[in-house]
Structure 1
Amino acid sequence: MAQHNDLGFKGEAIAKVYLEKLGYEILDENWVHGKAEIDLIAYQDKKIIFVEVKTRTSIAFGLPEDFVSNAKQKQMDLAANEYIEIMNHQGEIRFDIISVLFDKQNNYTIKHIEDAFWPS
């Protein structure tokens, strides 16, 4: 498996534990609909939260959260709509980004951006 995939899975595992410690219930991981994948789907306070996790080892090309493109947001929106329909969810939803940034000593920082975007 490619090294960047390993890094991505590591970041997703860290993000999952982080959310669970905050009291979120994880409903699904790596949920796929068509071409879209949602890294984590969480639930808290009657709200479904669709989470994109971005993991990097450097900010040389930008912050991890900068890599959630408009196209990715639209794909997440399509997948989220399908998930909402399947789950018959009548409440609120939210799109979050969690960035995980590793340093050279393999320490990491987490940045959780709630309501990071709302696809149009």
Structure 2
Amino acid sequence: MNGLSSLFLSLFCGVCLSEVTQSTNQSGVELTDTKIHCKHDIPDGNYDSIYWYYRKASMELTYIIHNYRGERNSGRYRIYVHRANSSSILTIRTLQLGDEAIYYCALQHTVVHLLQHLNNNPQ
């Protein structure tokens, strides 16, 4: 594969309840870094951490990374949580074709509801 191959990432908020928003589709260029944005309307003091997950076709939800504030790295993933503007950015470094998936961001108090929703509504 060459570096110009496009990779499509699907973004989905499991249980939004008008609190977490993400764009519906995003693409990136293979072997480059790509950023996925997540915005919510929950005040700073009303949640703990932001979590990121992915789900590939016919597979279970997989935890990627979480953080309370600022930046954190784990392998090829980096999360930045900006509490003042109620947002988070997941960076996937050196994007690969195997990264194609549905990506979820969730605030800590919604994680249990997200998992219940996914278990009750399998795709």
TM-score normalized with structure 1 length: 0.35
The answer to which structure, 1 or 2, has the higher relative contact order (CA under 8 A, 6+ apart) is 2
Structure with the higher helix share, 1 or 2? 1
TM-score (norm 2): 0.35
Structure whose residues are more often strand by fraction: 2
